[in-house]
Structure 1
């Protein structure tokens, strides 16, 4: 059976190549062949590519030397199974390559899903190796499937940041600034922080930093107390104890913010690399930030709450968020290789409209 992989050059993300892969008809014990129906694509996927070497993202779906496959979250269905508990036709949500198919080895199978126990994935974080049986997951409905596919992994990251900040009583900050405030993960975090403010009366101002072209969109979300374009950051209040949650990764923006805030910057949380082409600058940063590694926080909360309670809390919060996101985000579908090429190039170059959530399918049906 033939499959198609969208691969990118590891040392130059602007270069990509389509690779045809041949899978044998006969599967080994416990192997399952999945046809990937669709996957979401956001600036977060570009971050996967930028830090692919450091964070081992290239190891999930190995390909030809010098190239990698950027992971994406999506939905696939079983077209062939050699595991007695995984049936043809079942649909699973999880971490997929930008491809038409994925061959996995199913282990720890339950009615909720399975783990891919393929040898090369065993040293990688388990959170990325679990495939959810969406027929058994109440979050997935025909109406919400698209938005869940786009937001679920991003929302989990935001949920974890929110909980990590709350654990520290928000470092007694009175101002939280979110860069790249129009990005999907930032939207989810703003929703959670705004909800927490209302719920417990937390005293901090939530400030959105975004490009001039996205100011109106971010203001209309209704979650930020103040929205400032990058060109106007001199208007920031500089005498408040502040937190930065940085989804942009822009070196010069970091330098400006640190120069303005000085000792009032009490926590600098580095999350994303939306502006990945501006990671370096002439001026050395006064302080290095702290990189937020989501799997560590997952492990902490699952130990404290238990796995089931953790999943329940995330699920309940995600449903609340999706009910709001339905009025602000429209699904935009991309079909086939040529449309994926255009979407990938546009996202790589920062030419994305925040009001759309992008869903890609490389399979014909």
Structure 2
């Protein structure tokens, strides 16, 4: 029996600035239907910080349990099978999915097909199914050496954006033409703006897409070309409060929410809470007039899968994804971060908002 050394990156649940690497070992003698995956790479965006901030409330800490008081932030990435005790999963196969910020993941496999498998580990069975499926990259033509990193960075965020765009269209945009997206430079906001701009063009819709961003990111957001109007946070008061607005909030900033709610009042017809980019400003002195509505992507995904069927759901996402990936490639440059030290520095920079939106970040602990 041989052992395999592994490493987990853990964060203190109630104090995200505190981190700890935990060493552990796996045996190469696995139980029936177990597979050990070596995580090759995973993406890191502000979305991962959101996972940490709402980890307790949204059960994100339950996916990859660790020592008491700490959690492992989930990430989307790719891994290779290094040990398998399942007859239909072979060593060397490569899978895309929801991984811990770790070097390895032990899974218990169920529902295997040529397209992938479900991790049926006991602690994951009650969690949203969309997070438990692992895609066999050999059977998905979108995975190439050129696209793997972009897929890791954008695909999970893109699906959230696809579902928001789909939901807004289903609601006829709440009968308004003004769509305001905060943290307009963030990756999920980029995908949503692209989808809305495409929908607007293809259907000749009367929509005004407004991007709210910091002064330092105005040029980057303008360069994207999807927003009709770009506003910095200091200019919120210039919004036309006589018009009805839909707000899609990726910042989580309490004071920005307060300003928007006070200014727009009853003309804020849908206040959609998605991300927590500005996690250090979740509270403020003034209580919010209204809470807003948290958008939980798996709920809309499950609804559409029932209505459209899984094949049609995946096809619709695939068509929209290809349009987005064609548009985004020229605007993003990818930075790779190697080993424990590289991850720790990136985590600190992401936590403290020291990230240039021009970059997408990929981490590899096993190199």
Q: Shorter-normalised TM-score: what interval?
A: over 0.9
* Corresponding residue SS for 1:140: coil
Matching of residues 1-365 of structure 1 within 5 Å: 1-364=4-367
Deviation of 1:204 after TM superposition, in Å, equals 1.7
* Corresponding residue SS for 1:297: helix
Distance in 1, Cα, partners of 2:318 & 2:358: 23
Distance in 1, Cα, partners of 2:175 & 2:111: 43
Distance in 1, Cα, partners of 2:176 & 2:204: 14
Unaligned stretches of 5+ in structure 1? none
Distance in 2, Cα, partners of 1:316 & 1:86: 29
Task: With the length of structure 1 as denominator, give the TM-score of the two structures.
Answer: 0.99
The runs of at least 4 aligned residues of structure 1 exceeding 2 Å deviation read none
Deviation of 1:155 after TM superposition, in Å, equals 0.2
Distance in 1, Cα, partners of 2:291 & 2:64: 32
* Corresponding residue SS for 1:158: helix
Distance in 2, Cα, partners of 1:77 & 1:330: 25
Deviation of 1:25 after TM superposition, in Å, equals 2.1
* Corresponding residue SS for 2:117: strand
* Corresponding residue SS for 2:27: coil
* Corresponding residue SS for 2:362: strand
Deviation of 1:232 after TM superposition, in Å, equals 1.5
Distance in 2, Cα, partners of 1:126 & 1:174: 35
String of CA shifts for 1:50-99, please: whole Å, max 9, x gaps: 00000000000000000000000000000010001000000000000000
RMSD: 0.6
Distance in 1, Cα, partners of 2:51 & 2:238: 33
Unaligned stretches of 5+ in structure 2? none
Distance in 2, Cα, partners of 1:197 & 1:245: 17
* Corresponding residue SS for 2:218: helix
Greater alpha carbon shift after TM alignment, 20-29 vs 114-123: 20-29
Deviation of 1:304 after TM superposition, in Å, equals 0.9
